[in-house]
Structure formats: C-alpha cells, structure tokens
Amino acid sequence: MCLWALQNEIGIQMRTTLQDDGKKLVVWAPAKVNLFFEIHHLRRDGYHDIETLVAPVSLFDRIEFAECDSLCGGTRNFVVECCDENGSSYTRIPSDSSNLIFRAYEVFCKASAEKQELSPKLRSLSARVYKGVPIQAGLGGGSSDAAATLVALNLLANDIFSANELKQMAAQLGSDVPLFLESGASIGRGRGELVEPFRLPSLNLVILKPRDGVPTPAAYRAFDSMPPCEPRSLESLCRAIRNEYETNDQYDSRELSSRVARVLARGISNRLEEAVASIWRDARRWRDMLASTPNALVAQMTGSGSAFFAIYPDEESATLGAECLRERSQPVRDELEGIYVVKTLTS
C-alpha cells in the first residue's frame, strides 16, 4: 500500500510502503529548496533568527525500517546503515549515534518512555538509508530523514504522539527538521522551528550539485564576517504569490505554475549565497552556468549550498534546460555530482 500524507494531522510529503509481512516499513524523505532565505540577528543561544520560504521537491532518500531479533534483558537496539542508491556502502555520512536518524530514534524513545508507551516494535530496529539526496548541498537530506524517522516510528507505535508533539521532537533535532513535517511549502521563522504552511503550485526546477560541499557552520561564519545590510522582505514576496491565487483563480494549474514561477523570479533571495561566494570561488560560476540555460527564469543557491536550482516556466523548459546543462558541463564533469529535474511537492 502506498500513501501520501500520513495519519493524524501530519502532512509530511513522504511515501510509505508496508510489506505484507508487516515487518518492513519503507519511507521516502524529500529534499527541499529555499526559495527565500534571510538572516536576522544572532541570538543569545548562538543561533540566528531567520525567515525562509521552503518547498519540498521530488528528490528523495529511501529509508527501510525493519524489525531485528530482540536482545535479551529488554535492551534497546537500533542500527543505521547508509547506502548509495544502488545499495553499496555509503561512507560519506556516519552510521553511528551522530546520525540524525539515530538521534531521532533516541528522542522518540525518550518521549515514549516518559509516556510509558514504548512499543515492543521499537526495541530492536534497523534503518537502511538509500541516499538519493546529495549531502552538504543545502537540500536538507539529513533533516528530512530525521523528520521521516519520527513519523515512521510513530506509525509503528500506533500513533501515540500528536502532530504537535512530533514537531516538538523535531525542533530538538535541528532548526529545519520541523519544516519537513509540513505538507507542501512552508514558511520558517525563529531559528527555523516556527513553521506555518504556505500555498504554492507545483513548480518546475533543475538542481545542480557540484562535488564541492559547503559546511553550514562555515557559511554562517562567512555571513557573520560581512558588514550589516538591510534585510529583504519575505512578506512582499508572499503577498505577490497570494495575489496570483486571488486574482487568477480561472487559470489552470499549468498556467498558475508559470505565473507564480515568474513572481518568484522577481523576488527570490538567499542571503547566504553572497557569504558562501566569499569563501568558495566557484559559487558564481555554477550559478551563472545554470542561469544561462534556455528559458531559466532565475537561479539561486539553496540553503548554505553547495547546490543551486533554477526555476522554469514549464516542465518542457526544465527538461531542455537540464539537457543543455549536461552538454555545457562536459568539460567540468569531474567537478559535478549531479543534475536533477524535479518538481516542488504540493499538499
């Protein structure tokens, strides 16, 4: 059985497949792009206040949860294994307790113990991750995996937690983890944990991921070294998008997507892109290569990088843009990790 939008109020964009024997749960955790990202002041807790407009996209990690043989003495056992899409060992991310999937399991079990409702199914469990989302890309793969893990564990535990309780757990794991518990696009504020849904049509994008990665702490250090600047307005962009829905409700989904794409082309922004460009000399080269593809409306870095995305007016333009990009990037193909044609996911 395959489902979009899971039980209760949770609308996480995640496909689940439960095998007939009931012993394996397969979840698909999406990447995201930041259509807008503004940084405000540094908080006392060491985080920055931010404003962001985030959209999940059709690029996924696949996670298989399976019951293991129980250990004696009631000891909990949780094993994480990381693989590439073909099932070969993937050593670029840890499989130990620092992995966000492992941390999500620990947070969930601690909350379950406080309720005295730890399901026997969770006492001995394995999670095998097939990585489809590039790492150190600004695409949120690790955070999405954590959110997907929380929802999957709750499903295995017969929905013992509400949507709000899962969001509280998600906020403990990372600033952008709660965003992945939303269905479709959302706005994040605070350090990212204050989330509200936002209506967007399905948009056509191409994502370019260079092999270079940008550690998030390095990106923020570069930002902190920059002179202060006037913050850009997320509200004006959101207002313009809402106006397309309010004044053009007679358009079909294809036309609405094209019109909203053009609104975004005039208003998207990522404050971290300038900071990252100051420490990574190739940032502008990749962005300009993507922006110059046919019919690309705009190109921008997502999150702290190193991935970039371009918005196109329709699916045909995105496909053509990706083909052109593959041809142009041939001389530097060893520097490129991947080119992906994706759509933003809607609720």
Residues with catalytic roles: 32, 176
Return d(Cα 223, Cα 59) in angstroms, integer.
Answer: 28
User: CA end-to-end span of the chain, whole Å?
Assistant: 19
Neighbours of 244 (CB within 10 A): 17
- Tell me whether strands 77-84 and 124-131 are parallel, antiparallel or unpaired: parallel
Return d(Cα 18, Cα 65) in angstroms, integer.
Answer: 10
Secondary structure of the chain in HEC code, one letter for each residue: CEECCCCCCCCCCCEEEECCCCCEEEEEEEEEEEEEEEEEEECCCCCEEEEEEEEEEEEEEEEEEEECCCCHHHCCEEEEEEEECCCCECCCCCCCCCCHHHHHHHHHHHHHHHCCCCCHHHCEEEEEEEECCCCCCCCCHHHHHHHHHHHHHHHHCCCCCCHHHHHHHHHHHCCCCHHHHCCCCEEEECCCCEEEECCCCCCEEEEEEECCCCCHHHHHHHHHCCCCCCCCCHHHHHHHHHHHHHHCCCCCHHHHHHHHHHHHHHHCEEHHHHHHHCCCCCHHHHHHHHHCCCCCCEEEECCCCCCEEEEECCHHHHHHHHHHHHHHCHHHHHHEEEEEEEEECCC
Residue 98 structure tokens: 């620092």
